[in-house]
Structure 1
Amino acid sequence: MKALIVDDERHVREAINLLADWHRHGITEVIQAADGEEAVELIQHASPQIVMTDMRMPRKDGAALLTWLKNHMPDIKVLVISGYDDFDLVRHAIRNGGMDYILKPVDPIALNEALTKAVDAWRAEEQSRQQMNQLNIQMNQMKPLYDDRLLTELVSGQHFNRSFLNELQERSLIPHTATFFSVAVLSDAQFDEGLLLKFHNRRHLLSFALINICGELLRNKGIAIRNINKLGEIVILYWDTSAPLSTVLTQINAGIRKTLQRNVHFGLCQQQNVLSEIPKAYAEAVDKLWKRNVIGNLRYLHEEHDQEHGRQASIRNTQQEERFRLAALSGSLEQMESEAAQWIAHVTEFGYLSPDHLVRWNTEWDWMQHHWSEPESLDSKQAEEQYELESSVTPLPLDETGQLDTERWTHQIVARLSAASRTLTQRHSKDNHTVRDIARFLEQHYNKDISLQDISSQFFLSREYISRKFKQEFGLTILDYLSDIRIRKAKLLLMNPHLRIMQVAEMVGYHDEKYFSKVFKKLEGRTPNEYRKDFI
């Protein structure tokens, strides 16, 4: 903290400097001025928090200095030290922000008491100023987010009451004079992987760059906002009637191309819509953007719906799941590339493909790979829906113009199959080991009452998973495999004439002699008694 002593008499300045307990008040620097003019120069240069001034001085006197401080530096705390007990001077000091009026000769107690009061007042106000500045900073940081939230609610149709619309206009988001609107939508998800990597997948930075370009060219003709509900989506509301939105979008595209070396695709609903129809216009613009054709369509403004979209809607890559899984299990790069090429040829034969298809097929890929690594959840629709929500976003296989890049798509599919190959190979080896452990368990406990639930609890696997894997490995169900073990053991025991059939049945795990005989005849083609007679 700094203090300034202003007095035309040097010995007075030095006396005040000696009498004041600067250290106790946290004042680390004390400067001096001989009159008001010199004081103004020092104040502008050094910015002291406390000023102690005389009233009678040449050039600019104390009264003039107080007036200047009130007009230019009102936060500075002022103490008047004067040899004149003049009511007019006191009144002027009080009216212009003076905190105390101390008479010469200066009493050190009175001086330090006044100094304490001035320092405490400045610190309290400074804390309040800092809190207010912090609040303003937070408000400024929140304002764009709050504005985006309001406009997101507008385009999504969440609010259309009068108070909501009034707030939009009061915050200057929508002009009072605007009555017709056009809507455009763009999404950073439709950029190529190369651009996304340049931003290190920090999509908020890419959105910030896009909004700045849009805002610069829209100016007072419209506004560009982030859709809070959809990551990477930017919505443009346009209300100017002097030029169509398509003209401005062409300029925006040129600006983005100059800045990012990319064109951007817009879904556009250019029909002029009243405010209440904005959600419908927004939905149409989104639909046009995501259902645009990425094969041979070089337009960047998409104002029409593509009628071919329905022809591809029924194609699902899960229909090819077994072929993809076998290609992954083969571990053959050539086989994986072949399956990828066949799939791409199949879905592009119509000459129409949309980003919407690519996103859906990416989700299906995620789900298939999840199933391959977690096969016990294959029959769970709930697991499918949950995984769809949790799956990460894969860049669309588009080139720098936003068109389909078949080479990149092939690479993506082969990369997925290669990753699945490693997972499936590891799991297959692990599964074989576990299944054979189950087989040994059956060999060791065949004479006990064993259920599938017992095996499930023993090996911490689902019954469905155990049944499926066991059948794949041995070609038999667990029940048939256990029956085979028991009957093999029973055939040895039947050679002992001293053991009754009931005893043999119990010794191999059957508590019902009739059921034992039924199973024995099914597997051996004759009853236990008939088998015994052949060997005794």
Structure 2
Amino acid sequence: MLKVLLVEDEVYMRKGIIKLVDWNGRGFVIYREASNGQEALEILKKEHIDVVITDIKMPVMDGIELIRRISEEFENRPAVVIISGYNEFEFAKAAIRYGVNDYLLKPIDEAELIQTLERIKTRILNEREYHRRKNLFEYLKRNSKFMRVVEFNEVSTIEQLGMDGTATWMGIGKKEDLQYEDDLTICENLLEIEREVNAKFASKGIDFRCYWDSFFNIILIIEAEQKSRRGQVIKQVYEYITRRLNLQSIVFDEIKNFKNIHSFYKQLLKKLSFAQFYEKTGVIEAAQIEDFEMYIEDKKLGSELIKLIEERKCEEIRYKLSQFFDECHNKKISPEIIKGYILLTLLEVIDYFEVYQLFEADSLKFIYRSNLQKSKFIEKVMEILLQIAEYVTEATKFNSSSFMKKIELFIKENYNKDITIKSIAQQFYINPIYLGRMFKKHFNMPFNKYLHILRIEQAKKLLLKTDKKIYEIAKEVGYNDTDYFALKFEEYVGKSPSKYRSSIIGETNY
């Protein structure tokens, strides 16, 4: 709704104008009323008004003086509509000099008032959209310039940032839901935060700017004029922003040398990663996070987890992981080092149990998520280890020669049907990946090769003992495609079915 200030000294005239049209239906609201220009001026100084509708002749301060003061004293001037009688038209022309281009003649006509309001609304909304896009474009340029410095160390741009004071702080927080928004929405939200924070802390000498990097971290720059209570004020600002943006944590520090802002930013990112991984919340001064270690001495985790999986001790697996992470926390091990070590450990376990098929190429990508907390990270690792343990348990249950004899018998009874390793696994309630491995180990060949050999041997018998046609034999042993049957037959026997039959018959006759 566009807010309207109605300025008219005659009460009945004001009430008549208010009742003349459906203001809300037209997108307007009569927000305030005033009986003269002086009252209106005081309201304008305190309230945001979109449209002023004012009479010309009023006591204390007339409409012409009000319009003049508005044009001279207000940067973001409201739209102004003057109400004029026929004998006041010269006053109306004077008002036009102050930027007024809408006026209504008394008595006010309903249709004319509606046309004027629609014209004003269109103009205001168009101007707002223009300024919105202009502000977003300027913000995008500013953000891009800043990120070229902090992310890519573009030294030539540092002087253009306008950070020439020493009382400047940089804070970094993670807002992951930014990645689901488009760039313009992000810019609008961050610009709103900037205006809000600057308005709230203006009296404390704070100048705040907000940026975002390519990893959807929020970069928060604060410049402070006050010297005495500066640290306390800075923390108050960051605490407010943390709540306002719903951030888990913010790590901040004072920038001492702007030429080193790139390395300063990288260091803050590492400390933010450390804080988030170890689930530290709130506003954290960088000095509270000491330098962390970049080396893990323990090299036994993989072998210990393998042993626990073999012994089916799932709860001890969880305890072992928690113990390992607690030790890393106490020793202040970098999250990046931990994640790399855990990745190698998981690969060691996967390799030992030969369960590569259980995991797709990107199934371990969660390890590289920089903002994953320790507790959630442990749960993700546990999921993988439990999946391996379940697989190993199932494998042990079926790992016997008697079971494989059942599988062999089933295949011989159903070789001429459309069977696969997956359908057999479903029949015997076993993991198909494990069955494939176990089958290869027991028969020294993969299932598909075993099935082809079995079918071809049966086909050889039929070729020798019957006079059935080739396509009939192919279908009888499980091949719906005669050409494919002939191809596989020649691959395993060395000659086509017809030549094989001829050669066998010829030898017999001889």
Q: TM-score, normalized by length of structure 2? A: 0.49
TM-score (norm 1): 0.47
Q: Compare relative contact order (CA 8 Å, sep 6+) and give the higher one, 1 or 2.
A: 1
